[in-house]
Every structure is written in C-alpha cells, then in structure tokens.
Structure 1
Amino acid sequence: MDDEKFTLEQRAYQMSRTSGLLAGAITAFIAFCAFQLAGFTIAETATWMFALALMATSGTFAAVYFVGKAALKKQTLMA
C-alpha cells in the first residue's frame, strides 16, 4: 500500500511540475512581448515577467497537483 501511495504522489507531483513550468514559460514569453510592445524598459519588463511567471507557475502547480491527485486516486479506486 505504501508503494502505491508513493507512486500516486510521484505521478501527481511530476504532472503538476511539468504543467506549472510550461504555464510559467508561456506567461513569461507573452509578458515579454506585451511589455516590450507597450514601450516599457527592459528592467520593468524583466520585473513583471518574473512576477507574472512566478504567479502562473505556482498557481498552476497547486491547482494541477490537487485536482490531478484526486483524479489519480479516483482512477486507482475504480481499477
């Protein structure tokens, strides 16, 4: 039972980590394009890119982790 729980936790963590990093990278790219087109300096752009990417990464990670973990747990109970 412990091995099954560990595998479930590991899959949920890896899935959420990948989703979070992807969301953060996409957010940083969009923020860079938007702020540079709007005429902000590179220092302001980098600050906002970092802040927005961090918020997107952490929010996506948390949401995918908890929802994904519940879905994986439900899937293992059904099997």
Structure 2
Amino acid sequence: MDDEKYTIDQRAYQMSRTSGLLAGAITAFIAFCAFQIFGFTIAETATWMFALALMAASGTFAAVYFVGRSSLRRQMPVT
C-alpha cells in the first residue's frame, strides 16, 4: 500500500513539475514579447518576466499537483 501511494505521489509530482515549467516558460516568452513591443527597457522586462513566470509556474504546479494526486488516488484499487 505504501509503495502504491509513493508511486502515485511521484507521478503527481512529476506531472505537476512538467506542467509548471511549461506554464512558466510560456508566460516568460509572452511577457518578453509584450513588454518589448510596448517599449519597456530590458531591465523592466526581465524583472516582470521573472515575476510573472514564477507566479504562473508555482500556481500551475500547486493546482496540478493537488488535483492530479487526488485523481490518481481515486483510480487506485481498493485493497
């Protein structure tokens, strides 16, 4: 039982880590494009890129982890 729980937690962590990194990267790219189009300096752009990417990545990680873990546990066979 503990091995199954550990495996499910690992799958949920890996799934949420990948989703968080992808969301952060997409957010950073969009922020870079938007801030450069509107004429901000590179220092302002980098600051906002970092802040927005960090918020998007951490929020996505947390949401996917908790929802994914509960979904995977629901699929776990009852013994």
- Check whether TM > 0.5: yes
- The runs of 5 or more residues in structure 2 that have no matched partner are none
What's the CA shift string for 1:39-64, capped at 9, x where partnerless? 00000000000000000000000000
Instruction: Give matches, 1:1-79, under 5 Å.
Output: 1-77=1-77
Segment drifting more, 55-64 vs 68-77: 68-77
Q: TM-score, normalised by structure 1?
A: 0.96
Letter in structure 1 aligned against 2:48 = W
d(CA) in 2 for partners of 1:18 and 1:76?
22
The structure 1 segments of at least 4 consecutive aligned residues displaced by more than 4 Å after TM superposition are: none
Q: TM-score, normalised by structure 2?
A: 0.96
